[in-house]
Amino acid sequence: MGRVKKGEKCSVKGCNEEAVRSLSVSKVKTAGLDVETSRRAYLCKEHYKEFKKGNKKDAQIEKWRHGVA
pTM for the structure as a whole: 0.82
Reported as a single tens digit per residue, the pLDDT across 26-44 is: 999 989 999 988 889 999 9
pLDDT for position 8: 93
Burial of 10 by CB count in 10 Å (0-12 exposed, 13-18 middle, 19+ buried)? buried
Rg for the chain, CA atoms, rounded: 13
* Per-domain boundaries in the chain: 1-69
Distances (CA, A) of 39 to 57, 59, 61, 62, 68: 23, 21, 24, 22, 29
Predicted local confidence at residue 12, as pLDDT:
94
Query: d(Cα 52, Cα 5) in Å, to the nearest integer?
Result: 21
